[in-house]
Amino acid sequence: MLEYGTRVVAGVTPGKLGERVDRVPVYDSVRQAITEHAEINASIIFVPAAYTSDAVYEAIDSGIKLVVTITEHVPVQDSLQFINYARDKGVTVIGPNCPGLISPSESKVGIMPGHIFSKGDIGMVSRSGTLTYEIAWVLTRAGLGQSTAVGIGGDPIIGRDVLEVVDMFENDPGTRAIVIIGEIGGDAEERLAARIRQKGMRKPMVSFIAGRQAPAGKRMGHAGAIISMGAGTADSKIEALESAGVGVAQLPSDIPTLIKNALASK
């Protein structure tokens, strides 16, 4: 993140006060860090799953309004509790089990390889880290830069879902079109499609849904890839999105063409 240009001003590890990591001072608590660096407006959490909820609560109670949680294997009950607490406090949580977010050429709060992204006006929201990277590279090679890419995570309980991030992009003047990277499990894509059919969409959207070849009845991939009561399959998501006017790519490499066609039709 430092190499990318992100202003990382402090780190927190209890018992490490006074140490430095790549010139970044380390503190025993978030409160200490905030006292010394009043400009802090985001926290990124890498601590082990058993301690993640404590780190999230500490960031929230210290007044930080954006908390990016990279850690995987966070207990679902922990996620449910700290995400509800964050919402009550007006705090945005991204993750857990996510790669973070990046606004190319501006800032990266996450673990994605920054060199594959390029500055532009295509917003990306994704449940899959590796697919985020692959599709960002496809877009970059096609000359379609990105405004911001948000990896929301693949757990059953996450801080911000597809619909909420799409809303952010719809209201972002720097975003002209939106790429939605989904996968089997859950019903977020179906719910997005239902809302589009009801209210329409202001900006072109295209999508890729991973898991077309997943065997029926087999749980695969992220903890959130759970199919129930006929919802959450690749076919049901694709059918829902296409019925709402969202172009769905068969391959990641098809996405630039779908975007260009969608922008042209607007």
Active site positions, annotated: 222
Q: CA 123 to CA 132: how far, in whole Å?
A: 11
Q: What angle do CA 29, 31, 37 make, to 5 degrees?
A: 105
The C-alpha atoms of residue 97 and residue 99 are separated, in whole angstroms, by 7
Q: What is the DSSP string of 199-248?
A: H--SS-EEEEEE-TTPPTT---SSTT---BTTBS-HHHHHHHHHHTT-EE
Do strands 100-103 and 146-151 pair parallel, antiparallel, or not at all (unpaired)?
antiparallel
Nearest to 192 by CA among 235, 229, 156, 245: 245
Question: What strands lie across the sheet with 205-210, from one edge to the other?
Answer: 107-110, 100-103, 146-151, 119-126, 177-183, 205-210, 247-249
**Distance of alpha carbon 22 from alpha carbon 146, whole angstroms:** 28
In one-letter notation, the amino acid at residue 69 is: T
* Phi then psi dihedrals of residue 89, to 5 deg: -95, 5
Alpha-carbon separation of residue 173 from 21, 34, 148, 176 (angstroms): 37, 31, 12, 8
Beta strands in 104-165 (DSSP E): 107-110, 119-126, 146-151
